[in-house]
Amino acid sequence: MAILLSGGTVFIDNKFKKSDILVDNGSVVSVKPSIDVSESEIFDCAGKYIFPGFVDVHVHFREPGFSYKETIKTGSLAAAHGGYTSVFTMPNLNPCPDSAENLKIQTDIIKNDAVINVYPYGTVTKGENGIELSDMNDLADGVIAFSDDGRGVQNGEIMLEAMKKAKKLGKIIAAHCEVNDLLRGGYIHDGAYAKAHNHRGICSESEWKQIERDIELCKQTGVSYHVCHISAKESVELIRKAKKDGVDITCETAPHYLTLNDSMLREDGRFKMNPPVRSEEDRLALTEGLKDGTIDMTATDHAPHSEEEKSRGLEKSLMGVTGIETAFPVLYTELVRKNVIGLERLIELMSISPSERFGLKSGIKQGNPADLCVFDLEREYEINPADFYSKGKATPFKGKRVYGRCVMTICGGRVVYKEI
């Protein structure tokens, strides 16, 4: 049966209009001020906002290999709960998708269990070992892009060869940029909090130095290159300059880097992620990057772990926090309601820009896939991990008061989450 979303404020062509949306056979059939269809399931969206489904280019759904942390099913349900209709799963799995055979293990699970669109990355190197390229030719048709996320490719010659191969295949390299020799056993930002509490710090250079290297390789190869989870002011400036120089480069940052700084850390594993939350100066540089277009999109780096793995404090807990169910309300509350950016820009960052960069159809328009989310922007509530669909409950935003509740998500014309 067709679905009619009636009376909502709809994001169309980069602005908001009061409209009805008719969905049938998985697609948007019509977007008009008023639609009268007798045989349809009608949802009253008066007072609600309807956005194109969010796209997260950086998630960890942990399956195959680590299903005690998350599964394709629980991760995709969590994504739908957060308004996401498409996600890209990182390849640090067991087995990791470094061959067509290993990729099929993951895609079979996706086919059976995912409630939204789940697009896997393939690895850059075999076993993410940084030494030998993966079977990139065989993987190309089945992956959204290539990444060795979780570790930086340390050898510049290997990265150069990967870029040349990706360029031939018409694929993006999405890079976790980190120089291992500069980590020095650190686990939070090398800043005031680390010094005051006797923690080992991770310097910003460990991130931006590899971005600097890869920009030069991009200039040699012309590859399409995407930088994962930037956190440092130097990274913003390098990418800003590279864009001005004509490099085919995009980047993402995450809600925690945009809304937290290292003075807000607590002695709790839910504040530990890689790269770490950095200084207020870094945070402000990131927000400037959002405003001037240097930063192209937000991504959550949703990285669930078990309760025990996140209960060991800052030093010994595993890196990574959950984020896909809190991303919109946190960013809406901290950036839009505080007039840092407009709501239109937030939707561009969370949906339009990632879609366009990675070749997905974007926006709410006739003929496009019916991937939509409905939000009550006036709804205020407290973030409570007990309400998460994700297995991972560790979030630095626990207890935070936010605005913006997802009340419905539609993916491919199917209602995959509904509160109204």
How far out from the chain centre does Cα 211 lie?
19
Q: Which residues contact 116 (CB under 8 A, 6 or more apart)?
A: 53, 76, 79, 80, 84, 85, 86, 87, 409, 411, 416
Helical ranges in 63-155 per DSSP H = 72-81, 100-113, 136-139
Q: Residue 131: how many CB atoms within 10 A of its CB?
A: 12
Separation of alpha carbons 303 and 411, rounded Å = 23
**Cα distance between residue 31 and residue 291, in whole Å:** 30
Helix, strand, coil tally for the chain in percent (to 5):
35, 25, 40
* In contact, 335 and 341? CB cutoff 8 Å: yes
Dihedral pair phi/psi, residue 403, rounded to 5° = -115, 150
Question: CA–CA separation, 279 vs 193, rounded Å?
Answer: 9
Q: Are 276 and 187 in contact (CB under 8 A)?
A: yes
Q: Of the listed 20, 301, 371, 376, which one is catalytic?
A: 301
* CA pair distance 44, 373, nearest whole angstrom: 14
- Catalytic: 376? no
DSSP state of 302: B
Residue numbers annotated as active site: 301
